[in-house]
């Protein structure tokens, strides 16, 4: 496909947000409001599967993470659970970036005994890092929230060194029709109520299933990654497709 025939860039949507800047600002405010109960709700609403999904992501990167001197960047790091999974797989130097300050405060608390973890307040669409700095760039449940997916991929690609790998773990759509129906019921009816009640922010947990519905299919994300320059691009569906893990390499 040529640049001229490509679809306009997609990104997350917030009702009434006029443009990408406004969308990003509203997303940040939503996350600020859920920080105190964020981890609890993640584990509760995913029946603890979120831990396994992040572990699987880190495992797929093990070889890269264990290379001497390897540096990894976790984008949209939130409270730092993927950072901890990367460390558990043998990463020695990791940087976590997020544009929500209270999330970084929580991440600092949880990674306090790892002096090699650096935390940076930064927008994933405008990273304050030079090109080619990182051996691995990851994002768990963060990429879907970007106001411009194409721009997010371009930034991931830019900050990776040639030969480096990007990993995107995201909520997706189950393929089996029965599971899709069950999951649809759960994510429309149960998840927003429980999330709203426990977090005290109904808006954030109404946004969550909407953002998943609005997100790219696994095939579309793979295609966007290829268009951003990643070669090869590979993805696996986890837990019946509720989650997809995409890997893409920046050609050496
Ligand atoms: C659902 S949380 C995921 C957090 C964490 N990665 C995890 O696995 O639990 C999404 C995170 O993405 C962050 N985020 C969303 N858009 C961002 C952007 N443009 N730049 C940086 N962080 C962003 C939010 O502040 C939030 O902490």
The 10s digit of each residue's pLDDT in 200-222 is 999 999 999 999 999 999 999 99
Q: Which pLDDT score, from 0 to 100, does residue 1 have?
A: 45
Residue to mutate (ligand 1; options 42, 46, 74, 98; most atoms within 8 A of CB): 98
Ligand 1 centroid to residue 103 C-alpha, Å: 8
Question: Would residue 128 count as lying in a domain?
Answer: yes
Q: Residue 128 is part of a domain; what is its CATH number?
A: 3.40.50.150
| 208 within ligand 1 shell (Cβ under 6 A) | no
Give the residue ranges of DSSP H helices in 149-233. Answer: 149-159, 177-185, 191-199, 202-214, 218-228
Confidence of residue 154 (pLDDT cuts 50, 70, 90): very high
Q: What are phi and psi of 200, to 5 degrees?
A: 80, 10
- Residue to probe by mutation, ligand 1, list 27, 43, 145, most atoms within 8 Å of CB: 145
φ/ψ of residue 29, rounded to 5: -65, -40
Residue 56 lies in a domain: yes
Asked if residue 222 belongs to a domain, the reply is yes
Rounded to an integer, what distance in angstroms lies between the CA atom of residue 60 and that of residue 89? 9
Instruction: Look at residue 190 and tell me if it is in a domain.
Output: no
Query: Is there an atom of ligand 1 within 6 Å of 81 CB?
Result: yes
Containing domain of residue 239, as a range? 36-172+215-249
Domain count, the chain: 1
20 inside domain = no
Q: Residue of the nearest CA to atom 10 in ligand 1?
A: 142
Cα of 99 from ligand 1 centre, angstroms: 7
Ligand 1: atom nearest CA of 125 is 19
Residue 59 lies in a domain: yes
Query: Is-above-0.85 flag for pTM?
Result: yes
What are the pLDDT digits (tens) for 218-251? 999 999 999 999 999 999 999 999 999 999 999 9
Does some domain include residue 84?
yes
In-domain check, residue 186: no
């Amino acid at each position: 496909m040529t640049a001229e025939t490509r679809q306009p860039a997609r990104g997350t949507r917030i009702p009434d947000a006029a443009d990408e800047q406004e969308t990003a600002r509203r997303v940040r405010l939503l996350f600020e409001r859920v920080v105190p109960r964020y981890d609890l709700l993640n584990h509760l609403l995913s029946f603890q599967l979120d831990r396994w999904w992040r572990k699987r992501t880190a495992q797929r990167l093990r070889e890269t993470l264990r290379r001497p001197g390897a540096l990894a960047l976790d984008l949209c790091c939130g409270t730092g659970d993927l950072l901890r999974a990367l460390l558990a797989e043998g990463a020695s130097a990791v940087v976590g970036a997020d544009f929500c300050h209270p999330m970084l405060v929580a991440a600092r608390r949880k990674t306090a005994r790892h002096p090699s973890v650096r935390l940076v307040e930064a927008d994933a669409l405008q990273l304050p890092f030079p090109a080619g700095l990182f051996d691995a760039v990851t994002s768990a449940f963060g990429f879907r929230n970007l106001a411009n997916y194409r721009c997010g991929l371009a930034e991931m690609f830019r900050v990776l060194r040639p030969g480096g790998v990007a990993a995107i773990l995201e909520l997706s759509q189950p393929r089996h029709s029965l599971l899709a129906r069950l999951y649809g019921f759960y994510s429309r009816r149960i998840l927003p109520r429980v999330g709203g009640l426990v977090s005290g922010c109904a808006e954030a947990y109404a946004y969550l299933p909407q953002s998943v519905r609005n997100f790219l299919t696994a095939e579309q994300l793979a295609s966007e990654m290829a268009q951003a320059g990643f070669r090869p691009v590979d993805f696996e569906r986890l837990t019946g497709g509720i989650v997809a893990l995409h890997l893409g390499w920046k050609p050496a």
